[in-house]
């Protein structure tokens, strides 16, 4: 099965991608993993990407797409894959479609994790990170009433990108960039939405119920 996972920041894409890929026995492929593998492996694409990353610049689409093409060409992805974090816009989606078409393949499904903005803010703005061991706690889900890490005693802090104003801005950017992508896949007839609220296990169950008819 060839699958793309989309959803706003805080929707739990990374967690669900891991569970879904494991259930379907296909590799989970994220752009972050691809970048790290290329950079640590010293590939030509990795060296090129690193020049942008070291300057704090975004890696151009062309470099990202070339890395994705190489990864999808590997043996373990021939019978299916789950893409997380790619494509991010309609242009990338069109290139991915054409790439797969050249290989006699096509996406089976695009799974959209649906969660409203207030729930995303609740999830992300409630996170606190330990400055000593790096563990993440949540003021609501972990019932944290103090600013001390229960694991190591370190002091907890709120990362800048977890602050409410920043989270809401990230959601605005996501809507601007991804709403056209979701429309694109809806028009292709391969988009399915999954309610991404509630316990992780329940969300995975909902996703698998949607995927079952497509998984053969």
Assess whether 168 carries a catalytic annotation: no
Q: Are 61 and 115 in contact (CB under 8 A)?
A: no
> Strands 2-6, 81-84: parallel, antiparallel or unpaired by DSSP?
parallel
CA within 13 Å, CB half, 61:
10
Give me the catalytic one of 28, 122, 123, 127: 127
Give me the catalytic one of 2, 13, 28, 123: 13
Q: Are 20 and 82 in contact (CB under 8 A)?
A: yes
Q: How far apart are CA 16 and CA 201, in angstroms?
A: 9
Assess whether 47 carries a catalytic annotation: no
Assess whether 36 carries a catalytic annotation: no
Give me the catalytic one of 88, 97, 135, 168: 88
- Longest alpha-carbon distance in the chain: 56
Assess whether 127 carries a catalytic annotation: yes
Assess whether 206 carries a catalytic annotation: no
Residue with tokens 């054409």: 98
Give me the catalytic one of 69, 144, 170, 192: 170
Q: How far apart are CA 124 and CA 207, in angstroms?
A: 22
Give me the catalytic one of 101, 155, 159, 212: 159
Catalytic residues: 13, 88, 127, 159, 170
């Amino acid at each position: 099965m060839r699958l793309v996972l989309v959803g706003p920041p805080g929707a739990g894409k990374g967690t669900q991608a891991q569970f879904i890929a494991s259930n379907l026995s296909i590799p989970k492929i994220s752009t972050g993993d691809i970048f790290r593998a290329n950079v640590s492996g010293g590939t030509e694409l990795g060296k090129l990407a690193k020049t942008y990353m070291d300057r704090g610049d975004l890696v151009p689409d062309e470099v990202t797409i070339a890395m994705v093409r190489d990864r999808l060409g590997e043996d373990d992805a021939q019978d299916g894959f789950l893409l997380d974090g790619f494509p991010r816009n309609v242009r990338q989606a069109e290139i991915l479609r054409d790439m797969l078409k050249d290989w006699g393949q096509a996406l089976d499904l695009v799974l959209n994790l649906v969660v409203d903005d207030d729930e995303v803010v609740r999830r992300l703005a409630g996170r606190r990170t330990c400055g000593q061991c790096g563990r993440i706690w949540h003021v609501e889900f972990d019932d944290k009433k103090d600013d001390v890490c229960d694991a190591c005693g370190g002091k907890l802090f709120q990362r800048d990108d977890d602050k409410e104003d920043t989270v809401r801005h990230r959601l605005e950017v996501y809507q601007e960039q991804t709403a056209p992508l979701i429309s694109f896949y809806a028009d292709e007839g391969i988009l399915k939405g999954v309610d991404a609220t509630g316990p992780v296990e329940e969300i995975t169950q909902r996703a698998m119920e949607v995927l079952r008819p497509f998984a053969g």
